[in-house]
């Protein structure tokens, strides 16, 4: 089990740091600040809100939940934000939180994967918390890819 558990942690780190983050960065780099904060309608999120939401989710579930580090999060503000935070700041914030999460995951002992944590009102194992973040990051990355394609009207070449 230890080898499998260690492999799970390593794969999770790779998905966040080496697969999803660079693709999101590539999308953001192709967009203007106006594009990042464009939304198809008031009921939909824009890319800026999605990036803030990813930052908050990783902070709560990995830093706070897995790493037991203090954190602050007001989840609804991630969706309510309407200030046009710059592309550069959004990229920096996402890089920073993913790097912080990577440190937590790199230092996570595989033996604690079955330990339970209370995260966002849910009773989950550490393994499930990590799995949730990777899945959640993937889902919102896909939304960012789609919104980027809508704004740029071109192939993003994310899978070369």
Q: Under a CB-based contact definition with an 8 Å cutoff, are residues 65 and 129 in contact?
A: yes
pLDDT tens figures, 43-58 = 999 999 999 999 999 9
**Fold for domain 2-152?**
1.20.120
Give the mean model confidence (pLDDT) for residues 69-91: 96
pLDDT tens figures, 122-150 = 999 999 999 999 999 999 999 999 999 99
**Higher local confidence (pLDDT), 157 or 58:** 58
% of the chain surpassing 90 pLDDT: 96
Q: Which two tokens stand for residue 14?
A: 């790779």
> Which pLDDT value is given to residue 158?
87
> Which pLDDT value is given to residue 1?
53
- pLDDT over threshold 70, residue 155: yes
- Could you give the CA distance from residue 24 to residue 122 in angstroms, rounded to a whole number? 28
Q: Which two tokens stand for residue 92?
A: 């920096």
Distances (CA, A) of 92 to 18, 34, 104: 16, 18, 18
> Which pLDDT value is given to residue 160?
66
Hey, which bits of the chain come out as E strands? 116-119, 122-125
> Which pLDDT value is given to residue 47?
98
Please state the domain extents for the chain: 2-152
Average pLDDT of the residues of the chain: 96
- Could you give the CA distance from residue 104 to residue 66 in angstroms, rounded to a whole number? 8
Kindly give the interhelix angle for 2-14 and 87-106, rounded to the nearest 10 degrees.
170
Residues paired with residue 116 on neighbouring β-strands, in sequence order: 125
């Amino acid at each position: 089990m230890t080898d499998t558990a260690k492999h799970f942690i390593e794969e999770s780190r790779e998905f966040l740091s080496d697969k999803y983050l660079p693709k999101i960065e590539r999308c953001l780099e192709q967009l203007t600040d106006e594009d990042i904060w464009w939304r198809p309608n008031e009921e939909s999120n824009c890319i800026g809100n999605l990036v803030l939401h990813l930052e908050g989710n990783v902070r709560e579930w990995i830093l706070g939940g897995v790493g037991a580090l203090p954190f602050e999060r007001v989840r609804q503000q991630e969706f309510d934000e309407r200030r046009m935070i710059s592309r550069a700041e959004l990229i920096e914030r996402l890089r920073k939180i993913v790097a912080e999460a990577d440190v937590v995951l790199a230092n996570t002992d595989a033996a604690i994967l079955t330990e339970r944590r209370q995260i966002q009102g849910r009773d989950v194992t550490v393994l499930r918390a990590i799995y949730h973040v990777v899945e959640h990051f993937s889902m919102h990355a896909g939304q960012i890819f789609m919104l980027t394609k809508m704004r740029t009207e071109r192939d993003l070449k994310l899978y070369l």
